[in-house]
Structure 1
Amino acid sequence: MEGKRIDTDIKGEVLKGQLALFNGPGQAFELREFRVRPLQPGELLVKNVYTTICGSDLHTFCGLRKEPSPTVLGHEIVGEVIALHPTHAGFDLCGQQIQQGDRITWTVFSSNPQSTNSLRGIPQKGDDLFKYGHVLVEEPEVFHGGLGTYCIIKANTGIIKLPENIPLSIAATLNCSVSTVAGALRMAGDIKDKHVLITGMGHLGITCAAMCREAGAEWIGAADIDPRRLDEALGFGADEVFNMNGDNSKLLSVLQERTNGKGIDVVFDMSGSPDAMEFGIKSLGIGGFAILIGAVFNTRSLLIDPERVIRNLLTIRGLHNYNFADFKYAFDFMKCNWEKYPFSTVVEKEFSLEQVEEAFEYAIVQKPLRVGIKL
């Protein structure tokens, strides 16, 4: 079935919207107007209402990671449903009916649900992978990121309908940071009564602390080199914070004391720092788990003692993005806990789409947990 053209009003004018095009590191964003193409089977159209700038967006902006350009950045998005293709099932992952006017967020990816990796439970690595906010802008495929008026949601994208009481600034982070942390906890197994260390207290780290607290961790340590981030971690469930900007050999002794000589049960690295990852693995006790998430950009290789990994029965696992069950877990967690922890303070400043250049510069200089783009 062919897509049906979507009109802006009763006069039948073709729908158009703006994009803040990213043309590469060191180049200014370019605000341009484009036509919205007709929807294809299984798709829906949303009007973006809020986007938060993720750390990976900043890495792309600074040239630490490469994306095709021009592109439209932004994948932590909340949108309002404008239209559904007649073939769309009309329900979200939780079984809630989706209608025009509903506020939704969606997975950062879509992929073939019948592909090998999808059937293995890792649809984020499935065939025909499409990632919002990471794709070349090439007409007519232009509206596929958060820094624009609209976004076309492709078939096989996981969608969740949002309750009205969750603030936009909190809901926007669900489909990246919060869901990735949910996946990290899944990979770590049962957290209840465990001693947990988190290295890197950005948005991933503070979310991980809160999620581990709700999962029943006995003790949560938070480590970073930024005193402000460490102060923030205490409000998100961390029992104790550690500044890693110094001699970390002493810190290993402290962690041994905190765990009665047994060592850390689970370490989550959210920083991407090789030093932090190596330290975390050294801190593990027998049967410990290291879950590595932060290094989504090019960095040096890790120095790991293989004999210690073998003799101590350590497990080292990496996670990139998440699956649909993680997305639902993240939603359930935030729905129940966004008021219990200070998630409402995460976005320190908001900007308009026309101020996108200023927003990125602010994020780089001030290093807030998030900045928001209110559309």
Structure 2
Amino acid sequence: MIPAPLKARAAVHNGESSSLDIRTIDVAAPGPGSVLVRLGASGVCGSDRHVLDGDWQLPSPTVMGHEGAGTVAAIGEGVVDVAVGDHVILSWFYPCRRCTACVSGRSYVCTGSRAEECLLPDGTSALSENGTRVFPYLAVGSMSEYTVVPESGAIKVPAAVPFDVASLIGCSIATGYGAVVNDAAVQAGQSAVVVGTGGVGLSIIMALNLVGANPIIAVDLSEEKLAAARELGATHTLQPGNDLAAQIQEITGGGADFAFEAIGRVQTIESLPGLITGGGKAVIVGLPPQDAPVSIDALELAESGKSLIGSNYGSTVPGRDFPRLAELYLAGKLPVDKLISDRIKLDEVNEAFDAMRRGERARSVIVFD
């Protein structure tokens, strides 16, 4: 029997500081259509940092974390997709399953989800502290020992997938893989450049290697991250400079077929069209701060037949893609564990964000006892 409410230690953002407080919150029993999850692991992602650093505005106080995996501890009335004891990956953009986008197979642009409001489908939160509502980031709140999510946001995967690996499948891996396979549709032998080799950038490189892209060029300031990129399939690594476009043209013979931006910086997004060949495709994967317009030479884009597209969650359909990615990991074709540079405790989360701000570490993952 699961007591209600549960007490859980969680990393809470107060809406003002750039750091997190480790506090004890209350987690209510799951209501109809919802699932109580005991977290096994949570990724520490750049999207969380955007919130802490004030780039994106959210309701607060907020339990941070949106890359999560764990065990179903209890289910609410009407839940049929998962059962107590199942291992699940949490989706940070749960679909409503009813809107036009969802029924046409494009749940990544669902218009009925309240995930971006950090609310369950009925407009509530299962998290609170001393009677005050606490919001789960993107309706996940994975930096907590327990959380409650909608049934559509908890996807069953094989128990053989470790929780630290599974947590990354829920965001960075799905985003990177989807950007390559779902959005860009990269084919074997086509060339690609990846600007930014954090967790998402390295996931893009893994996916490019999986589909047989060649050459695969990784660009980053950090030699540590470039070394990780080489291990995961990059054939060439470069540090950015004034001659970056020329270097890429030399390697590819005129420009890459695809360029992926995985940082979310205005300057690097603006540079993408100059890195691709005529008819090539540039893909914006990194998310910039709010109200940060980008300047693009539309005439050059049109005359050269180049495309510039946005990739939201890699056009991921969680119920389809999470099990697929889990099976690719188990088959040894997607070495997600190599992406994890640091396994940490919840109390070390602020140190992980500080390291991220310094450009250090590939990906930190919080591992719960």
Q: Report the TM range for the smaller structure's normalisation.
A: 0.7 to 0.9
Partner amino acid, structure 2, of 1:352: K
Which residue number in structure 2 is paired with residue 254 of structure 1? 247
Deviation at 1:132, TM superposition (A): 8.0
Q: Does 1:47 align with 2:9?
A: no
Q: Kindly indicate whether the alpha-carbon contact (under 8 Å) linking 2:225 and 2:361 is maintained by their aligned counterparts in 1.
A: no
The structure-2 alpha-carbon separation of the partners of 1:167 and 1:157, relative to structure 1 and needing over 3 Å to count, comes to: closer
Which residue number in structure 1 is paired with residue 52 of structure 2? 61
Q: Size of the alignment, in residue pairs? A: 354
Greater shift in the superposed pair: 311-320 or 30-39: 30-39
Q: Kindly indicate whether the alpha-carbon contact (under 8 Å) linking 1:78 and 1:171 is maintained by their aligned counterparts in 2.
A: yes
Q: Does 1:370 align with 2:354?
A: no
Q: Does 1:268 align with 2:260?
A: yes
Q: Does 1:217 align with 2:201?
A: no
Deviation at 1:326, TM superposition (A): 6.2
Deviation at 1:278, TM superposition (A): 2.7
d(CA) in 2 for partners of 1:141, 1:57: 16
SS at match of 1:222: strand
Q: Kindly indicate whether the alpha-carbon contact (under 8 Å) linking 2:343 and 2:367 is maintained by their aligned counterparts in 1.
A: yes
User: Superposition RMSD on alpha carbons, in Å?
Assistant: 2.8
d(CA) in 2 for partners of 1:366, 1:304: 27
Deviation at 1:308, TM superposition (A): 1.8
d(CA) in 2 for partners of 1:133, 1:370: 26
d(CA) in 1 for partners of 2:259, 2:168: 22
Deviation at 1:289, TM superposition (A): 0.8
TM-score by length of structure 2 reads 0.85
Greater shift in the superposed pair: 14-23 or 223-232: 14-23
Unaligned runs of 5+ in 1: 1-5, 91-97
Q: Does 1:118 align with 2:114?
A: no
Q: Does 1:35 align with 2:3?
A: no
Q: Which of the two has higher C-alpha Rg?
A: 1
SS at match of 1:110: coil
d(CA) in 1 for partners of 2:72, 2:246: 53
User: Which of 300, 303, 307 lines up with 1:308 in the alignment?
Assistant: 300
The structure-2 alpha-carbon separation of the partners of 1:359 and 1:226, relative to structure 1 and needing over 3 Å to count, comes to: closer
Structure 2 matches for 1:145-224, cutoff 5 A?
145-157=141-153, 159-164=155-160, 166-185=161-180, 186-224=182-220
Deviation at 1:126, TM superposition (A): 2.1
CA offsets, 1:87-133, max 9 Å, x none? Answer: 1123xxxxxxx432222112112232221332354323323423389
SS at match of 1:304: coil
TM-score by length of structure 1 reads 0.84
Q: Kindly indicate whether the alpha-carbon contact (under 8 Å) linking 2:210 and 2:334 is maintained by their aligned counterparts in 1.
A: no
Which residue number in structure 1 is paired with residue 88 of structure 2? 104
Greater shift in the superposed pair: 226-235 or 338-347: 338-347
Which residue number in structure 2 is paired with residue 349 of structure 1? 342
The structure-2 alpha-carbon separation of the partners of 1:14 and 1:158, relative to structure 1 and needing over 3 Å to count, comes to: closer
d(CA) in 2 for partners of 1:188, 1:325: 16
d(CA) in 2 for partners of 1:364, 1:254: 27
Which residue number in structure 1 is paired with residue 71 of structure 2? 80
CA offsets, 1:199-247, max 9 Å, x none? Answer: 1111111111111111121211111222222222111111111110x21
SS at match of 1:147: coil
Deviation at 1:322, TM superposition (A): 4.2
Q: Kindly indicate whether the alpha-carbon contact (under 8 Å) linking 1:270 and 1:293 is maintained by their aligned counterparts in 2.
A: yes
